[in-house]
Amino acid sequence: MKQEVSHLFFDSFGVPAKSMAFAPGRIEFIGNHTDYNGGLVMGAAVTEGVFVAVAPRADRKISLFSRSAGLVETSLDSLEPLEGEAFWANYPLGVTKVLLENGLSLSHGFNLAVDSNLPIGAGLSSSAAFELSTAYVLAELCGFEADKKTFAQFCRRAENEFVGMPCGILDQGVSAFGQADSLVCIDCADELFGTKAMPTGTHFWIFNSNKKHALVESAYSDRHKECHDALAILQKGYPEAETLSQISQSQLDATADELGDLLYRRACHIVGENDRVRLVEAALDEGDLAAVGAALSVSHMSSRDNFANSTPELDFLAEALNELDSVYGARLTGGGFGGAVMAFTSDAFASADADLVAKAYQKEFGLEATVLHTRAGNGGCLL
Ligand code: ADP
Ligand code: MG
Protein backbone atom coordinates (compact mmCIF):
# COMPACT_ATOMS: atom_id res chain seq x y z
CA MET A 1 0.00 0.00 0.00
CA LYS A 2 2.93 2.39 0.52
CA GLN A 3 3.68 2.09 -3.20
CA GLU A 4 0.04 2.61 -4.09
CA VAL A 5 -0.34 5.84 -2.14
CA SER A 6 2.99 7.09 -3.44
CA HIS A 7 1.81 6.45 -7.03
CA LEU A 8 -1.60 7.95 -6.29
CA PHE A 9 0.14 11.09 -5.05
CA PHE A 10 2.39 11.33 -8.10
CA ASP A 11 -0.46 10.70 -10.53
CA SER A 12 -2.62 13.33 -8.81
CA PHE A 13 -0.07 16.10 -8.35
CA GLY A 14 2.78 15.39 -10.80
CA VAL A 15 5.51 15.55 -8.13
CA PRO A 16 6.75 12.98 -5.62
CA ALA A 17 5.40 12.97 -2.06
CA LYS A 18 7.64 14.38 0.70
CA SER A 19 6.16 12.47 3.61
CA MET A 20 3.99 9.35 3.96
CA ALA A 21 2.28 7.74 6.93
CA PHE A 22 0.01 4.85 7.85
CA ALA A 23 -2.50 4.62 10.69
CA PRO A 24 -4.60 1.56 11.43
CA GLY A 25 -8.30 1.11 11.97
CA ARG A 26 -9.36 -0.46 15.23
CA ILE A 27 -11.59 -3.06 16.78
CA GLU A 28 -13.51 -2.15 19.91
CA PHE A 29 -12.97 -5.35 21.88
CA ILE A 30 -15.00 -4.51 24.99
CA GLY A 31 -16.17 -1.24 26.56
CA ASN A 32 -18.95 0.27 24.47
CA HIS A 33 -19.48 4.07 24.69
CA THR A 34 -17.44 4.06 27.91
CA ASP A 35 -14.68 6.31 26.56
CA TYR A 36 -16.54 9.62 26.65
CA ASN A 37 -18.03 8.55 30.00
CA GLY A 38 -14.62 8.46 31.70
CA GLY A 39 -14.57 4.67 31.73
CA LEU A 40 -12.53 1.67 30.68
CA VAL A 41 -12.18 0.21 27.20
CA MET A 42 -10.08 -2.38 25.40
CA GLY A 43 -9.44 -2.25 21.67
CA ALA A 44 -6.98 -3.52 19.13
CA ALA A 45 -5.47 -1.87 16.09
CA VAL A 46 -6.05 -3.95 12.96
CA THR A 47 -3.47 -4.53 10.26
CA GLU A 48 -5.59 -2.58 7.74
CA GLY A 49 -5.67 1.20 7.73
CA VAL A 50 -5.31 4.51 5.97
CA PHE A 51 -2.26 5.67 3.99
CA VAL A 52 -1.56 9.36 3.46
CA ALA A 53 1.07 11.10 1.31
CA VAL A 54 1.80 14.81 1.38
CA ALA A 55 4.08 17.49 -0.11
CA PRO A 56 4.18 21.27 0.32
CA ARG A 57 2.92 23.71 -2.31
CA ALA A 58 4.31 27.12 -3.26
CA ASP A 59 0.95 28.88 -2.68
CA ARG A 60 -1.57 28.69 0.19
CA LYS A 61 -3.92 26.21 -1.43
CA ILE A 62 -4.77 22.84 0.13
CA SER A 63 -5.49 20.15 -2.43
CA LEU A 64 -6.78 16.81 -1.17
CA PHE A 65 -7.22 13.71 -3.31
CA SER A 66 -8.85 10.48 -2.12
CA ARG A 67 -8.86 7.39 -4.31
CA SER A 68 -12.40 6.66 -3.17
CA ALA A 69 -13.83 10.16 -2.79
CA GLY A 70 -12.08 12.36 -5.40
CA LEU A 71 -10.67 15.89 -5.21
CA VAL A 72 -11.36 18.75 -2.79
CA GLU A 73 -9.55 22.08 -2.97
CA THR A 74 -9.52 24.80 -0.36
CA SER A 75 -7.07 27.22 1.23
CA LEU A 76 -5.09 27.62 4.39
CA ASP A 77 -6.92 30.95 4.75
CA SER A 78 -10.39 29.41 4.84
CA LEU A 79 -10.18 26.42 7.16
CA GLU A 80 -13.89 25.93 7.76
CA PRO A 81 -15.92 22.68 7.78
CA LEU A 82 -17.26 21.69 4.34
CA GLU A 83 -20.62 20.13 3.58
CA GLY A 84 -22.07 17.75 1.01
CA GLU A 85 -19.75 15.67 -1.16
CA ALA A 86 -16.66 17.39 0.22
CA PHE A 87 -17.51 16.39 3.81
CA TRP A 88 -14.75 13.78 3.91
CA ALA A 89 -12.16 16.57 3.64
CA ASN A 90 -13.16 17.73 7.14
CA TYR A 91 -11.06 14.97 8.73
CA PRO A 92 -7.68 16.19 7.33
CA LEU A 93 -8.75 19.85 7.45
CA GLY A 94 -9.79 19.53 11.09
CA VAL A 95 -6.42 17.99 11.94
CA THR A 96 -4.65 20.81 10.09
CA LYS A 97 -6.59 23.41 12.06
CA VAL A 98 -5.99 21.80 15.46
CA LEU A 99 -2.27 21.36 14.75
CA LEU A 100 -2.00 25.01 13.64
CA GLU A 101 -3.67 26.08 16.89
CA ASN A 102 -1.10 24.05 18.78
CA GLY A 103 2.13 25.31 17.28
CA LEU A 104 2.42 23.72 13.84
CA SER A 105 4.19 26.21 11.62
CA LEU A 106 2.77 26.03 8.11
CA SER A 107 3.27 29.05 5.87
CA HIS A 108 2.39 27.27 2.61
CA GLY A 109 -0.44 25.03 1.54
CA PHE A 110 -0.02 21.34 0.71
CA ASN A 111 -1.13 18.53 -1.56
CA LEU A 112 -2.35 15.38 0.13
CA ALA A 113 -3.38 11.98 -1.25
CA VAL A 114 -5.21 9.31 0.74
CA ASP A 115 -5.69 5.62 0.08
CA SER A 116 -7.11 2.91 2.31
CA ASN A 117 -7.59 -0.82 2.66
CA LEU A 118 -10.06 -0.42 5.49
CA PRO A 119 -13.82 -0.66 5.10
CA ILE A 120 -15.10 2.92 5.39
CA GLY A 121 -17.93 3.68 7.81
CA ALA A 122 -18.02 0.08 9.11
CA GLY A 123 -17.24 0.89 12.71
CA LEU A 124 -13.52 0.12 12.31
CA SER A 125 -12.72 3.80 12.59
CA SER A 126 -11.37 4.78 9.21
CA SER A 127 -12.01 8.36 10.34
CA ALA A 128 -9.48 8.20 13.21
CA ALA A 129 -6.98 6.39 10.96
CA PHE A 130 -7.34 9.19 8.41
CA GLU A 131 -6.88 11.85 11.10
CA LEU A 132 -3.82 10.27 12.68
CA SER A 133 -2.02 9.54 9.40
CA THR A 134 -2.67 13.14 8.36
CA ALA A 135 -1.30 14.43 11.66
CA TYR A 136 1.88 12.39 11.24
CA VAL A 137 2.63 13.59 7.70
CA LEU A 138 1.92 17.25 8.50
CA ALA A 139 4.09 17.04 11.61
CA GLU A 140 6.98 15.56 9.63
CA LEU A 141 6.58 18.12 6.88
CA CYS A 142 6.79 21.00 9.36
CA GLY A 143 9.25 19.60 11.91
CA PHE A 144 6.55 19.49 14.60
CA GLU A 145 7.00 17.02 17.46
CA ALA A 146 4.58 15.54 19.97
CA ASP A 147 4.07 12.20 21.68
CA LYS A 148 1.50 9.59 20.63
CA LYS A 149 -0.99 10.57 23.30
CA THR A 150 -0.88 14.22 22.29
CA PHE A 151 -1.38 13.31 18.63
CA ALA A 152 -4.36 11.14 19.58
CA GLN A 153 -5.83 14.02 21.62
CA PHE A 154 -5.35 16.48 18.74
CA CYS A 155 -7.08 14.09 16.35
CA ARG A 156 -9.97 13.53 18.73
CA ARG A 157 -10.35 17.29 19.04
CA ALA A 158 -10.45 17.58 15.24
CA GLU A 159 -13.25 15.01 15.10
CA ASN A 160 -15.16 16.59 18.03
CA GLU A 161 -14.82 20.24 17.09
CA PHE A 162 -14.35 20.35 13.31
CA VAL A 163 -16.19 17.24 12.08
CA GLY A 164 -18.79 17.57 14.85
CA MET A 165 -18.70 13.98 16.14
CA PRO A 166 -18.58 13.81 19.98
CA CYS A 167 -16.44 10.64 20.09
CA GLY A 168 -14.17 9.69 22.99
CA ILE A 169 -10.45 8.85 22.83
CA LEU A 170 -10.85 5.14 21.90
CA ASP A 171 -10.53 5.42 18.11
CA GLN A 172 -7.58 7.77 17.91
CA GLY A 173 -5.94 6.25 21.01
CA VAL A 174 -5.96 2.70 19.68
CA SER A 175 -4.84 3.85 16.23
CA ALA A 176 -1.83 5.50 17.91
CA PHE A 177 -1.04 2.92 20.62
CA GLY A 178 -1.78 -0.31 18.72
CA GLN A 179 0.74 -3.09 19.10
CA ALA A 180 1.03 -6.32 17.10
CA ASP A 181 -0.80 -9.24 18.71
CA SER A 182 -1.87 -7.06 21.63
CA LEU A 183 -4.96 -5.44 23.00
CA VAL A 184 -4.83 -1.77 23.96
CA CYS A 185 -6.33 -1.01 27.39
CA ILE A 186 -7.43 2.56 28.08
CA ASP A 187 -8.49 4.16 31.32
CA CYS A 188 -10.28 7.14 29.83
CA ALA A 189 -10.59 9.02 33.14
CA ASP A 190 -6.86 9.76 33.15
CA GLU A 191 -6.19 8.81 29.53
CA LEU A 192 -3.78 6.07 30.54
CA PHE A 193 -2.79 3.64 27.78
CA GLY A 194 -1.50 0.11 28.27
CA THR A 195 -1.26 -3.09 26.28
CA LYS A 196 -2.03 -6.74 26.98
CA ALA A 197 -0.91 -9.69 24.88
CA MET A 198 -3.63 -11.41 22.85
CA PRO A 199 -3.94 -15.05 23.95
CA THR A 200 -2.19 -17.30 21.43
CA GLY A 201 -4.42 -19.12 18.97
CA THR A 202 -7.15 -16.46 19.06
CA HIS A 203 -8.41 -14.53 16.07
CA PHE A 204 -10.58 -11.59 15.07
CA TRP A 205 -13.19 -12.04 12.38
CA ILE A 206 -15.13 -8.92 11.37
CA PHE A 207 -18.53 -9.15 9.73
CA ASN A 208 -19.58 -5.84 8.18
CA SER A 209 -23.38 -5.79 8.06
CA ASN A 210 -23.22 -3.24 5.23
CA LYS A 211 -26.25 -1.62 6.77
CA LYS A 212 -26.23 1.63 8.67
CA HIS A 213 -28.88 3.88 10.16
CA ALA A 214 -29.32 6.95 8.02
CA LEU A 215 -28.60 9.23 10.97
CA VAL A 216 -25.70 7.52 12.75
CA GLU A 217 -24.06 10.78 13.79
CA SER A 218 -27.20 12.19 15.39
CA ALA A 219 -27.99 8.84 17.06
CA TYR A 220 -24.48 8.87 18.54
CA SER A 221 -24.97 12.45 19.74
CA ASP A 222 -28.34 11.46 21.28
CA ARG A 223 -26.64 8.73 23.34
CA HIS A 224 -23.92 11.17 24.34
CA LYS A 225 -26.60 13.55 25.60
CA GLU A 226 -28.60 10.82 27.36
CA CYS A 227 -25.47 9.78 29.29
CA HIS A 228 -24.91 13.42 30.23
CA ASP A 229 -28.54 13.80 31.38
CA ALA A 230 -28.38 10.57 33.41
CA LEU A 231 -25.21 11.77 35.13
CA ALA A 232 -26.78 15.15 35.98
CA ILE A 233 -29.65 13.35 37.79
CA LEU A 234 -27.28 10.92 39.56
CA GLN A 235 -25.07 13.80 40.70
CA LYS A 236 -27.93 15.18 42.80
CA GLY A 237 -27.54 12.18 45.08
CA TYR A 238 -23.85 11.51 44.43
CA PRO A 239 -22.19 14.90 43.85
CA GLU A 240 -18.72 13.37 44.11
CA ALA A 241 -19.24 11.44 40.86
CA GLU A 242 -17.59 13.30 37.98
CA THR A 243 -18.56 10.74 35.32
CA LEU A 244 -21.04 7.91 34.87
CA SER A 245 -18.13 5.52 35.32
CA GLN A 246 -17.82 6.56 38.97
CA ILE A 247 -21.37 5.39 39.68
CA SER A 248 -21.94 1.88 41.06
CA GLN A 249 -24.79 -0.43 40.10
CA SER A 250 -26.33 -0.06 43.58
CA GLN A 251 -26.24 3.76 43.35
CA LEU A 252 -27.88 3.44 39.97
CA ASP A 253 -30.58 1.14 41.29
CA ALA A 254 -31.27 3.53 44.16
CA THR A 255 -31.88 6.32 41.62
CA ALA A 256 -33.98 4.27 39.18
CA ASP A 257 -37.23 6.19 39.80
CA GLU A 258 -35.66 9.62 39.32
CA LEU A 259 -33.89 8.45 36.14
CA GLY A 260 -36.90 6.86 34.49
CA ASP A 261 -36.66 3.74 32.35
CA LEU A 262 -34.75 5.13 29.37
CA LEU A 263 -31.97 6.96 31.23
CA TYR A 264 -31.71 4.10 33.72
CA ARG A 265 -31.04 1.63 30.91
CA ARG A 266 -28.52 3.93 29.21
CA ALA A 267 -26.60 4.30 32.49
CA CYS A 268 -26.84 0.55 33.16
CA HIS A 269 -25.06 -0.08 29.89
CA ILE A 270 -22.13 2.17 30.80
CA VAL A 271 -21.81 0.84 34.38
CA GLY A 272 -22.11 -2.75 33.10
CA GLU A 273 -19.57 -2.23 30.33
CA ASN A 274 -16.98 -0.92 32.80
CA ASP A 275 -17.54 -4.01 34.95
CA ARG A 276 -17.20 -6.22 31.89
CA VAL A 277 -13.88 -4.61 30.92
CA ARG A 278 -12.55 -5.40 34.42
CA LEU A 279 -13.90 -8.92 34.17
CA VAL A 280 -12.30 -9.45 30.74
CA GLU A 281 -8.93 -8.14 31.95
CA ALA A 282 -8.98 -10.59 34.86
CA ALA A 283 -10.19 -13.48 32.69
CA LEU A 284 -7.43 -12.81 30.15
CA ASP A 285 -4.86 -12.93 32.96
CA GLU A 286 -6.26 -16.28 34.04
CA GLY A 287 -6.47 -17.59 30.48
CA ASP A 288 -10.21 -18.10 30.89
CA LEU A 289 -11.30 -17.46 27.32
CA ALA A 290 -14.80 -18.79 27.88
CA ALA A 291 -15.34 -16.04 30.48
CA VAL A 292 -13.93 -13.44 28.09
CA GLY A 293 -16.30 -14.61 25.38
CA ALA A 294 -19.31 -14.66 27.68
CA ALA A 295 -18.65 -11.01 28.62
CA LEU A 296 -18.48 -10.08 24.93
CA SER A 297 -21.85 -11.73 24.30
CA VAL A 298 -23.45 -10.03 27.31
CA SER A 299 -22.04 -6.72 26.09
CA HIS A 300 -23.89 -7.16 22.82
CA MET A 301 -27.14 -7.94 24.62
CA SER A 302 -26.72 -4.81 26.72
CA SER A 303 -26.21 -2.77 23.54
CA ARG A 304 -29.37 -4.31 22.13
CA ASP A 305 -31.55 -3.98 25.23
CA ASN A 306 -30.14 -1.10 27.28
CA PHE A 307 -28.31 1.25 24.98
CA ALA A 308 -30.41 0.61 21.85
CA ASN A 309 -27.40 1.03 19.58
CA SER A 310 -27.69 -2.31 17.82
CA THR A 311 -29.68 -3.16 14.69
CA PRO A 312 -31.56 -6.33 13.63
CA GLU A 313 -28.68 -7.03 11.24
CA LEU A 314 -26.02 -6.79 13.97
CA ASP A 315 -28.18 -8.85 16.34
CA PHE A 316 -28.53 -11.59 13.74
CA LEU A 317 -24.78 -11.75 13.07
CA ALA A 318 -23.88 -11.70 16.77
CA GLU A 319 -26.40 -14.43 17.59
CA ALA A 320 -25.37 -16.66 14.68
CA LEU A 321 -21.70 -16.34 15.66
CA ASN A 322 -22.28 -16.79 19.39
CA GLU A 323 -23.89 -20.16 18.69
CA LEU A 324 -20.66 -21.62 17.30
CA ASP A 325 -18.26 -23.53 19.57
CA SER A 326 -15.25 -22.00 17.82
CA VAL A 327 -16.47 -18.47 18.69
CA TYR A 328 -15.60 -17.37 22.23
CA GLY A 329 -17.82 -14.35 21.89
CA ALA A 330 -19.23 -11.91 19.33
CA ARG A 331 -20.57 -8.38 19.67
CA LEU A 332 -21.07 -5.21 17.71
CA THR A 333 -17.83 -3.25 17.52
CA GLY A 334 -17.74 0.54 17.62
CA GLY A 335 -20.49 3.08 18.05
CA GLY A 336 -23.24 0.84 16.68
CA PHE A 337 -26.40 1.84 14.79
CA GLY A 338 -25.03 -0.34 11.99
CA GLY A 339 -21.48 -1.23 11.08
CA ALA A 340 -19.81 -4.48 12.03
CA VAL A 341 -19.83 -7.40 14.44
CA MET A 342 -16.55 -8.69 15.81
CA ALA A 343 -16.09 -12.39 16.58
CA PHE A 344 -13.28 -13.41 18.91
CA THR A 345 -12.52 -16.98 17.87
CA SER A 346 -10.26 -19.97 18.36
CA ASP A 347 -8.09 -21.52 15.61
CA ALA A 348 -10.99 -23.83 14.81
CA PHE A 349 -13.08 -21.05 13.24
CA ALA A 350 -12.47 -21.23 9.50
CA SER A 351 -13.51 -19.47 6.27
CA ALA A 352 -16.17 -22.12 5.76
CA ASP A 353 -17.78 -21.09 9.07
CA ALA A 354 -17.66 -17.44 8.06
CA ASP A 355 -19.27 -18.33 4.71
CA LEU A 356 -22.13 -20.14 6.43
CA VAL A 357 -22.86 -17.15 8.66
CA ALA A 358 -22.68 -14.79 5.67
CA LYS A 359 -25.02 -17.04 3.67
CA ALA A 360 -27.58 -17.16 6.47
CA TYR A 361 -27.32 -13.37 6.75
CA GLN A 362 -27.85 -12.97 3.01
CA LYS A 363 -30.91 -15.21 3.20
CA GLU A 364 -32.41 -13.26 6.09
CA PHE A 365 -31.74 -9.69 4.94
CA GLY A 366 -30.90 -9.93 1.23
CA LEU A 367 -27.60 -8.23 2.03
CA GLU A 368 -23.99 -9.29 1.69
CA ALA A 369 -21.95 -9.39 4.90
CA THR A 370 -18.34 -8.54 4.08
CA VAL A 371 -15.95 -10.70 6.07
CA LEU A 372 -12.48 -9.67 7.23
CA HIS A 373 -10.15 -12.04 9.07
CA THR A 374 -7.65 -9.78 10.74
CA ARG A 375 -5.24 -9.61 13.65
CA ALA A 376 -3.99 -7.04 16.11
CA GLY A 377 -1.42 -4.83 14.40
CA ASN A 378 0.88 -1.92 15.16
CA GLY A 379 -0.13 1.71 15.64
CA GLY A 380 0.36 4.54 13.19
CA CYS A 381 3.82 5.40 11.86
CA LEU A 382 5.68 7.35 9.23
CA LEU A 383 6.49 5.29 6.14
P1 ADP B 1 -15.63 4.78 10.56
O2 ADP B 1 -14.71 5.68 11.28
O3 ADP B 1 -16.18 3.71 11.42
O4 ADP B 1 -15.04 4.20 9.32
P5 ADP B 1 -16.97 7.26 10.21
O6 ADP B 1 -18.31 7.63 9.69
O7 ADP B 1 -16.56 7.76 11.54
O8 ADP B 1 -16.87 5.67 10.13
O9 ADP B 1 -15.85 7.73 9.20
C10 ADP B 1 -15.96 7.43 7.84
C11 ADP B 1 -15.73 8.70 7.04
O12 ADP B 1 -14.32 9.02 7.04
C13 ADP B 1 -16.08 8.54 5.58
O14 ADP B 1 -17.46 8.75 5.34
C15 ADP B 1 -15.20 9.62 4.96
O16 ADP B 1 -15.80 10.89 5.12
C17 ADP B 1 -13.94 9.58 5.82
N18 ADP B 1 -12.93 8.68 5.21
C19 ADP B 1 -12.40 7.57 5.72
N20 ADP B 1 -11.50 7.00 4.87
C21 ADP B 1 -11.47 7.80 3.77
C22 ADP B 1 -10.77 7.77 2.53
N23 ADP B 1 -9.91 6.79 2.23
N24 ADP B 1 -11.01 8.78 1.65
C25 ADP B 1 -11.88 9.77 1.94
N26 ADP B 1 -12.57 9.84 3.09
C27 ADP B 1 -12.39 8.89 3.99
MG1 MG C 1 -15.23 7.06 12.85
CA 1 to ligand 1 centroid distance, Å: 18
- Report the predicted TM-score, pTM, of the whole model to 2 decimal places: 0.95
pLDDT higher than 90, residue 20: yes
Residues 19 and 155 in one domain: yes
Say yes or no: 137 and 252 in one domain: no
Catalytic positions are: 171
Question: Does 150 lie in the same domain as 218?
Answer: no
Q: Which of 172, 200, 228 is the last residue of a domain?
A: 200
353 shares its domain with 292: yes
DSSP characters over 322-358: HTSTTEEEEEEESS-SEEEEEEEEETT--HHHHHHHH
Residue 208 shares a structural domain with residue 357: yes
Report pLDDT digits (tens) over 261-298: 999 999 999 999 999 999 999 999 999 999 999 999 99
Tell me whether residue 381 is in a domain. no
Query: What's the Cα-to-Cα distance from 159 to each of 38, 53, 95, 126, 208, rounded to whole Å?
Result: 18, 20, 8, 12, 23
Would you say residue 47 lies in a domain? yes
Residue 380 lies in a domain: no
Residues 102, 63 share a domain: yes
Q: Tell me what percent of the residues of the chain surpass a pLDDT of 70.
A: 100
The pLDDT tens digits for 229-269 are 999 999 999 999 999 999 999 999 999 999 999 999 999 99
Ligand 1 proximity of 297 Cβ (cutoff 6 Å): no
**Whether residue 114 has its Cβ less than 6 Å from ligand 1:** yes
The CATH number of the domain where 80 resides is what? Answer: 3.30.230.10
CA dihedral 207, 66, 159, 373 (to 10 degrees): 20
Q: Contact, 252 vs 271, CB < 8 A? A: yes
Instruction: Name the amino acid, one letter, at 86.
Output: A
| pLDDT in the model for residue 217 | 80
The chain-wide mean pLDDT, for the chain, equals 96
* Domain annotation covers residue 383: no
358, 262: one domain: yes
Would the CB of 215 count as within 6 Å of ligand 1?
no
Q: Which ligand is nearest to the CA of 116?
A: 1
Residues 187 and 251 in one domain: no
Examine residue 219 and state whether it is found in any structural domain, yes or no.
Answer: yes
Phi–psi pair at 172, nearest 5 degrees: -70, -35
- Measuring from atom 6 of ligand 1, which residue has the nearest CA? 121
Q: Which atom of ligand 1 is nearest to the CA of 124?
A: 3
Query: What CATH number corresponds to the domain at position 335?
Result: 3.30.70.890
In this structure, are 59 and 108 located in the same domain?
Answer: yes
Domain count, the chain: 2
Final residue of a domain: which of 200, 228, 253?
A: 200
Domain that holds residue 337: 203-374
* pLDDT tens-digit readout, 171-195: 999 999 999 999 999 999 999 999 9
Both 196 and 296 in one domain: the answer is: no
Asked if residue 172 and residue 121 are part of one domain, the reply reads yes
φ/ψ (deg, to 5) at 200: -65, 150
**82 within some domain:** yes
